[in-house]
Chains A and B, each alone.
Chain A
């Protein structure tokens, strides 16, 4: 228990330090736009039906009388509801019915009878208390019938990001109740031209793109690069502390890594005669990076150590080979090649052997290999004028569509538990980042300002 409190306090402290850990001389990041992701939820999946426990998640109880604590208590309750709802493991008593039930003021006066009348199986009760400069959050998940708590936890941290308390609680509940790795604390990264800054140089009026990150639900959107150039196609390192991306800051395209907590930059591809270098993908152990390079004349897939050493060429064909992604085992790489005429998805061993073509659609790109327990590759497939997201089962080769011509849909990437996909879509106008369940349902819009593309989900 103590250890857990310490761990979460540490995690919260680390996150609170983010604004100071960004790359100097970075201007203050734009204020995060609070977003309730449920605004754009569309289709709701059937879920577990009668088998799913019915939860009630009322606002947390503010034990300190000030307005800030009250606001934090309300935020935690709302965000926790969204976090739990995201995985579709529970059914929920609608929030608008909670008003009919007397609000508890502590763990001592919870009106279990009334919650039972609403047919709740589980009830989450939490308290928020100001302790000096930090806040203390206590949470209990009650079995409404037995009135006993299935989980009781205490968390300490700063008030800077109340949502993180909710995310932490949600992941805890999914882990302990459903044996599921929730994604509430996972993050997204994507490129964006939202700041409207212009490329320097002598060419036309061109908008630069920079790398941004956000919470999984789109909250806390922050910029993490200041290239004054094109910085695109970011990918999270497996430890979530670094982002590799394609940058034009040297003129041509090269692979860079931003260590977002240290504010440092690493160059993976540098020097003369390295050609164009695109689309890095981290190996599952974070030690190597697969990417595409023209250094030997035309785009081929290479694997290199993170520090730029030990370069190995994986493909050898005069066609285009680009957009690598690793299998979770680290022993295979999927990529796009147009060696048969149109771009298709191929799989090859990380040693360059055992090449196999996996798709035969019109035009496929941006493979993204799912984590276990699924063994699927998501990709963008041309369908009419635009693209749709499809998923192919690696073993059976059977594929299915997840989007159906609402705008063009590209650049899928799996959530760390494989149950969700983040992707780019033009369905709401400009290119925006969306998430959806691996079934294609439960689509949520993550970004709204500027063009936001080529997302990746932290591991």
Chain B
């Protein structure tokens, strides 16, 4: 009997630990699983044990606390320091480098974890292209990033695109450091 109780307690603690440990990755609305009933499976050869009164209070995490900073943040806060990282491009190019693909892999994982999110992929260009052609180049960049996300299983209707050409440089400088920052697909979370 004591052994059975020991097993039950260990199991409950394990479940709790697991719940806390993976709390950061749970969907925002899910509440932690309640402790399992204190009746572990007994060998069928033995008679069922009588219900064991639980002498210790069950630890329940405070309920209204959100699970993580990301799901707690407002759209404004999210987009100011977005968990979705931008993707950068070479001059006059919309090709996705290995680094860019890795970034998009991470972004796709986040989008899968928060399936209610809708995002807009903004295509941006540096000032070394013309204002007019850059509108289309930015669109091509945004489309490339979106297509990659969709290929990873993100539903197409969650990802919109828009091109701003070179109208909104992230870095107002006129050197390669600035240009490199400005050739990007930028992710904006539009719904959560």
Contacts and interface: CB of A to CB of B under 8 A. Distances in A.
A365 B162 contact: no
Interface in B111-146: 122, 127-133, 135-137, 139-140
Contact of B162 (A206, A253, A343, A380): A253
Contacts of B148: none
Interface centre among B130, B139, B163 (most CB of A within 10 A): B130
A377 to B, nearest CB: 14
B188 A322 contact: no
Interface string B165-183: 0011010000000000000
B79 A202 contact: yes
A202 B82 CA distance: 11
B164 interface: yes
B68 interface: no
Contacts of B129: 363, 365
Contacts of B80: 204
Contacts of B167: 209, 230, 232
Nearest to A387: B130
14 contacts: A202-B188, A203-B122, A203-B188, A204-B80, A278-B132, A292-B135, A320-B140, A323-B133, A338-B133, A363-B133, A366-B132, A380-B130, A410-B130, A411-B132
B70 interface: no
Interface string B65-93: 00000000001101110000000000010
Interface centre among B127, B140, B167 (most CB of A within 10 A): B167
Contacts of B92: 342, 363
Contacts of A204: 80, 168, 170
A385 interface: yes
Interface residues of B, number: 29
Contacts of A203: 79, 122, 188
Contacts of B128: 385-386
A366 B130 contact: yes
B67 to A, nearest CB: 22
Contact of A322 (B79, B127, B132): B132
Nearest to A430: B172
B132 A299 contact: no
Interface residues of A, number: 40
A86 B13 CA distance: 88
B130 A278 contact: no
Interface string B86-104: 0000001000000000000
Contacts of B127: 408
A276 B133 contact: no
Contacts of B163: 253, 276
A320 B130 contact: no
Interface string A264-292: 00000000000010110000000000001
B79 A251 contact: no
A209 B131 CA distance: 13
A453 B133 CA distance: 14
Given A320-B136, A387-B130, 15 more contacts: A202-B190, A204-B80, A230-B164, A232-B167, A248-B164, A251-B162, A252-B162, A276-B162, A278-B136, A292-B135, A320-B137, A322-B135, A385-B128, A411-B130, A453-B131
Q: Quick one: which of A202, A298, A411 has the most chain B CB within 10 A?
A: A202
Interface of A: 202-204, 206, 209, 230, 232-233, 246, 248, 251-253, 276, 278-279, 292, 294, 298-299, 320, 322-323, 336, 338, 342-343, 363, 365-366, 380, 385-387, 408, 410-411, 424, 453-454
SS class of chain B's interface: helix, strand, loop or mixed?
A: mixed
A202 B75 contact: yes
A408 B168 CA distance: 18
A232 B139 CA distance: 16
Contact of A279 (B75, B135, B164, B170): B135
Given A204-B170, A253-B163, A292 B136 contact: yes
B177 to A, nearest CB: 15
A76 B130 CA distance: 39
A253 B130 contact: no
Contacts of B136: 278, 292, 299, 320, 322
User: Taking each of B76, B79, B139, which has the highest tally of chain A beta carbons within 10 Å of its own beta carbon?
Assistant: B139
A165 to B, nearest CB: 36
Nearest to B76: A202
Contacts of B139: 276, 294, 299
Contacts of A453: 131
Contacts of A294: 139
A292 B140 CA distance: 14
Nearest to A209: B167
A204 B140 CA distance: 22
Interface in B5-28: none
A233 to B, nearest CB: 7
Contacts of A386: 128
Contacts of B140: 298, 320
A411 B129 CA distance: 12
B131 A343 contact: no
Nearest to B142: A276
